[in-house]
Structure 1
Amino acid sequence: MPQASTSRGFAYLTALAQAIEKKLQRALVSPSQRRNLLEELFADIALEVDDRAKDIILGSEDVISVAEVGTRGLLCFYDVLADYFIWAPENGKHILDLIVQLWSQSFASHIFSLMFHKWLFEVQLDNSDVLLRYSSALVQGATNIFWIDIQTNTRRFHSLFQYLFEEVALVPERLKKIPLQAQRDLFLLLSRFLLFYNLADKLESFLKQFPDFTNVFLVGGPADIFVIQLVDQLQKLKVEPVLIHYLSHIKVLQD
């Protein structure tokens, strides 16, 4: 996504980040309201950016790259926030600290995954324990988020999946920034949702980038692991149109 093209746009995103920080602070000090506040925040950042906000964030030209918006045809607040925290990582520090304190709460990992999935692969984190914590939260949050799309048969979070798939899984330099176990967990996650997000045409490239698995002699190579994850996913699907979608794309396995 193009950067906020005006100081007005940057100021808008800064104010938005401050509002997010305040809501997280409220959640931290209000145990009885915590779940509702976090759920509200998750819903807010998952909203599509309205035309007025889009004009402010992207400038008067209102230029949105077709490649970035993709086939979804929408731009959500989490899309612009994920980029914002790369441009201004210092403005996300307090938000991250608050999320860590709320780690065990429902929707905390969802919020982290939406806003900081790009940040995790763009900043330098030298503490291995912190890196493992963040990467584990990313996989956990993304898993829950993608299931929301499955249950509603929508693809509101397509851009999150696309980034993790095309910009992380298929880019060794980024992938290797997270611990090996997190790499494995990420590939298992992506295997489950690849057909849902219509990226079957990139399966061959995906399989070539699979990290090493310690039990490979038991489960086989990347293709075998992918099939195991896919079969398990099919058994869990309850939404009929989604199941039909999966089945219609399974032919890629025969190519």
Structure 2
Amino acid sequence: MKLSEEQITRYSRHILLKEVGGKGQKKLLEGRVLIIGAGGLGSPIALYLAAAGVGTIGIADADEVDLSNLQRQVIHTTPDVGKAKVLSAKETMLAINPELTVNAYQTWVSAENIAGLIADYDFVIDGTDNFAAKFLINDACVLAGKPYSHGGILQFDGQTMTVKPGESPCYRCIFPEPPPKDVIPTCSRAGVIGVLPGVLGTLQATEAIKYLLGAGDLLTGRLLTYNALRMRFREIPVKKSAKCPICGDHPTITELKDELDAMTVCDLGH
């Protein structure tokens, strides 16, 4: 694959970096990333992956744009209200970078379809807002051996980590099972500062880009937390759990299932 003159100009600031260069940019153009969720986290993730030139980006979400989304879901605009989020996101991504392939999946991700959705992608990003989806994404990626980035937000706090199945701890190593229903308040009850998903989402996009490039240190074995009010990041070391129900010594989860009703919560995992 040879970069065109237009591509050399578009990605010139990448190409100047010794960690990227022309070869690295080609890796990005050949890369395939699936984003699950086209909301607060998915918005900055999609924008920056599109701008970076990740050649094939999938985005899955069954929801439509609502006026209340616009305070934080920056990939959508006021005229998009009522439009499918994945179609709104696709239009914006292609407006930024028309040479991409954007696959829009207007569907709820479930145990029935997730294996097929993630199969053709190199890296998966969890941009969802409910525990059911987060545990399902973890389980599907671990069983399929797909690396993925977890992210969660609530009020002024966020967290993220990267999972490389077989090498690093997974989400269930830290949180073996979902909390009881209604323990964590919903977005509409607890709120979320609009800029928070921008911070966490760009971190997740960075992890995807680094993975495709094979550059730097991924956020594996480390849970990164962020508090916007105190402007403080904290890195918590995490280890693989021998008792993990999916990647431990004696796994009890060997197939995918929808074990919970999809409850809308801005998940912080605790």
| Pairwise TM-score range, normalised by the shorter structure | 0.3 to 0.5
Greater helix share, structure number: 1
Bigger relative contact order, structure 1 or 2 (CA pairs below 8 A, ≥6 apart): 2
Q: TM-score, normalization: structure 1?
A: 0.32
The TM-score with structure 2 as length reference comes to: 0.31
